[in-house]
Structure 1
């Protein structure tokens, strides 16, 4: 069934496109961007206020997520920049509410259809902009790499990695040439962005999908394939460790992962100084981390705007306590989505599982875990809530099916009929 493009759905599509990061390429005035974002949230309020009870019902059912926001709130209270931390937290909560609205109003199937429209538009816009404007291609250190409608090549790579996941899921539902073309275009844009992290993300997503397929088919051939597959991966990793210099040269990186490992060492020291509740959400990297990082700029030889690791940045924002809760949220979503795929083999649950695997791995070298006004956070929260709801529904259905069959004294099945 085709997606009904109502005004509400069209507005969600526009929001996702803007929140993917395309805002800042075309509007350099931050004040204007902030005003547009405020208008977006006001429109959501007007569109969905009548559903507010159902929206908050779903939100408050997410116990771990509520606990996570509670810890971030306590971190803000202890922060040296309380107002800033609370402002950031309120905006993050507003972005979270967009995710809850999507879950409350639309099925997972329809959300995937909405995302496919979003990514189709982003693919077309990035190709057209890079081919027609010099601003669509990097200059300087990353000269030649495509960045499409984004400010940096890695942004394009990141967006297109999750585009491939959406299109792979849609291809699993039903093969069409249109879906195949958009999947291939997503791959091409990742390659043109020259994003090593993006390429690794693609490989991980494909491995994740095929690993589930193998484990769903219980026979000796598949066990052997898994065994030899893991043996091959371990062999490649061993070769990479022994010949790390040659491997990093092939990838076009230095052995410090473009300075990341040095940066991570510095950030770990800061985490040790405020381990339990961090520095407050968004406080550490205020003004590019000037208050904390300026003494280390000469050592790093670059000016980081974030930690290039989502987990370290979260520990800086809300301490180890918030990091532990986030890991629990991720693992819970991962386990539930895996069980759903294993039991149903449904393309929708493939999307949930593959997104979480890729998202978790991606945050090891990029900081995309905790971003307000951002499509990645909207997608992440929808995945977590959909996984919780779908898993709960599946368990309820399984329980009902088990209860409908009983055995009589002779071992014959008796079917019990339930009213309602």
Structure 2
């Protein structure tokens, strides 16, 4: 009964738009105190949930994405894609996806992607004749590539929670992220076949050469970052520090690294990190409550009672995560559900790295859906359009993203091929 009351109070607070971290930690503190535990012990549990060296990479990767936006590095990726794809019908749509893929190697956050690139891409697409719904929907959908492609912030959090190799999870995420980009491009191709009116840009070899030279620096970022991690030269946390230093070096070289820009970047990073860390601490306390209440055992008994087929289990998990992703922040879901679901997945013989990739894709789709989808609200804020208008534009893109989720769920060897090749 007490657990149901806890769940009802958390749901009520989320419904009235209380921030996720506060909606979790308030009821959890009340439950813990009512259960005979002191407030000091409960708060210590929350702080202990943050005491993890791998989690130190989270604010650093956030800073990398913010710096890439504010130092004009993301703009160089966009200009290169536009110069290379200018003659293709629907060029700005393909450029949207291409720049999202390029930016994803530096960001790890969908919010940084849609907030930075969306301000530039959506108005340009609308001026070129694309319907607003299509432009906003594509920009929001392509931003999901960032939290799937390494360096993925959700992957860092999952790896720390599940105690699996961050490098292995990064490697396993590459093919699914590229599949997401491919799925969006196929949708663009089918959509633009009915739109011969969309303008193209004449090919300019000189412009392409200039854009290619300008983008060399940004394109070296994934080489330095992932090359160092996968080769074992440094840990993901150390890699994040190296990436921040490299962004600053590029900013100095491009003469965009002004003190005011750096100060704003640090403030934005601190605000985003503070929200994430509050969720991490609150979820640690809530996770302890669920563990002591044997929720994991009860869920395992229910799921194994439904079927002993691993694929059926994954289908049930997908449905559960898609529903939760519509209601709760992805970070909180990872922290609360991984201790419950991962032991069951291991009993079914499911690889924990593969399970992490499936979980992350599910939760990233939730970023597009109301009532909590943060990418949905950021897109609305950036463009000044109502949320319902933005969601109508996003809805068709859920088809290619959902198709990729089905493919990834059905073919685990495709996900694990690259980690195995690299020796994880």
Q: Same fold (TM over 0.5)?
A: no
TM-score by length of 1: 0.26
- Which structure has more relative contact order (CA 8 Å, sep 6+)? It is 2
Pick the structure with greater CA Rg: 1
TM-score by length of 2: 0.25
